[in-house]
C-alpha cells in the first residue's frame, strides 16, 4: 500500500512539473513571436503584437497567481 501511494505521489508530482513546463514553454513561444512581430512593421503585425501582448500579460498573471496559491504563507 505504501509503494502504491509513493507511485501515485510521484505521478502527481511529474504531472505538475509537466504542466509548469508547458506553461513556461507557451510563454516563451509568445515572447519569441512578439519579438519577431516587433521587427516587422506591417499593420497586421502590430495588431497581432497587441493581441499577443494581452495574452502574455494574462499568462503571467495566471502563473503568478498559481505560484502564490502553491506557496505556504
Using an 8 Å Cβ cutoff, are 52 and 33 in contact?
yes
What pLDDT is stored for residue 62 in this prediction?
85
What pLDDT digit, counting tens, does each position of 7-48 carry?
999 999 999 999 989 988 999 999 999 998 888 878 888 899
How far, in Å, CA of 49 to CA of 36, rounded? 9
Mean pLDDT of 48-66: 88
**Claim: this prediction has a pTM higher than 0.75:** no
The answer for residues whose C-beta is within 8 angstroms of residue 24's C-beta and 6 or more apart is 63
Question: For the chain, what are the domain ranges?
Answer: 18-70
Amino acid at each position: 500500500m505504501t509503494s502504491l501511494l509513493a507511485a501515485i505521489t510521484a505521478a502527481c508530482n511529474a504531472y505538475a512539473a509537466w504542466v509548469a513546463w508547458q506553461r513556461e514553454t507557451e510563454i516563451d513561444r509568445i515572447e519569441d513571436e512578439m519579438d519577431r512581430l516587433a521587427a516587422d512593421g506591417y499593420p497586421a503585425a502590430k495588431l497581432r503584437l497587441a493581441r499577443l501582448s494581452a495574452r502574455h500579460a494574462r499568462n503571467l498573471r495566471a502563473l503568478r497567481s498559481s505560484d502564490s496559491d502553491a506557496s505556504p504563507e
